[in-house]
Amino acid sequence: MLSKGLKRKREEEEEEEEEKEALEVDAWWLDPGHPAVTQAPPNVASSSLFDLSVLKLHHSLRQSEPDLRHLVLVVNTLRRIQASMAPTVTLPPVPSPPLVPSVADNLLASSDTILSASMASLLEDLSQIEGLSQAPQPLADESPPGRPIGGAPPSLGALDLLGPATGCLLDDGLEGLFEDIDTSMYDSELWVPASEGLKPGPEDGPGKEGAPELDEAELDYLMDVLVGTQALERPPEQGR
């Protein structure tokens, strides 16, 4: 499906495999023979790109120390795709039942808020972590020239990194420390409400036709993966 000669970047995680499988079905837009993505039927191409971007975002956020540049670029791209997907009034050239636009709308509506909420919470966590590990910085616009940052003496070893932060730790108390190591950071809140809104139940699955089936199948597959990981923390849901 991928144009030959393009080497996939080597990654150890399983997501790579999932990405591959999830996209393999409708990866026709990667075919070099086709025109640029923007010229392809927008709905289908955008939604695939959307899914890909969400996966990338998810993957990036899951890392212990995300690459901020990568994260920001993926998020901005995701916003662009969302913005372009918003007007779904016109039916795409590819024949699809009327359920697709509403499904897409649901997805967009719920995921938009979910996305920003999730992004917000995750970035807040990032800034919280920063607040604990660094001596508190004075606010901007102070008159003394420059803003000296209190740093520890040259690090003698990894343990010294705890030095400047100790003060902050004790101030917040141990509760503050555990607050930061909140496992909700790893919860896939991104998908849970969306899946509840969209998940028709297994018996409805085969009933769809054509392109929407791909979307449904993709979503179901992704949900499977995510629910599977959450099964560790929550009692198994009924009906799945």
Q: Is 57 in the site for other proteins (CB under 8 A)?
A: no
Q: How far is CA 104 from the centre of its chain?
A: 18
CA distances from 126 to 67, 74, 121, 158 (A): 11, 17, 9, 21
Find the helix or strand (DSSP H, E) in which 22 lies: helix 15-24
Count of beta carbons in the 10 Å neighbourhood of residue 16 = 15
Candidates 148, 206, 235, 239: give the one binding other proteins (CB under 8 A). 148
Please give the Cα distance from 211 to 42 (Å, whole number).
Answer: 13
Q: Is 170 in the site for other proteins (CB under 8 A)?
A: no
Contacts of 195-200 with CB under 8 Å at 24 or more apart are 195/219, 195/223, 195/226, 195/227, 197/106, 197/110, 198/103, 198/106, 198/107, 199/223
Least CB distance to other proteins at residue 189 (A): 15
Least CB distance to other proteins at residue 34 (A): 9
Least CB distance to other proteins at residue 213 (A): 22
Please give the Cα distance from 45 to 29 (Å, whole number).
Answer: 7
Residues in contact with other proteins, counted by CB under 8 A, come to a total of 69
- Candidates 180, 182, 192; CA nearest to 229 is 192
Q: Is 214 in the site for other proteins (CB under 8 A)?
A: no
Closer residue to other proteins in complex, CB, 150/236: 150
Least CB distance to other proteins at residue 208 (A): 26
List the x/- string, 101-130, binding to other proteins by CB under 8 A: ---------------x--xx--xx-xx-xx
Least CB distance to other proteins at residue 221 (A): 17
List the x/- string, 76-95, binding to other proteins by CB under 8 A: xx--xx--x-----------
- Candidates 105, 102, 49, 110; CA nearest to 208 is 102
233: Cβ contacts below 8 Å, ≥ 6 apart = 183, 187
Least CB distance to other proteins at residue 95 (A): 24
Candidates 87, 98, 146, 201: give the one binding other proteins (CB under 8 A). 146
Binding residues for other proteins, rule: CB under 8 A, are: 2-10, 19, 23, 29-30, 32, 35-38, 49, 52, 64-65, 67-70, 72-73, 75-77, 80-81, 84, 116, 119-120, 123-124, 126-127, 129-130, 132-134, 137, 140-142, 144-155, 158-159, 161-165
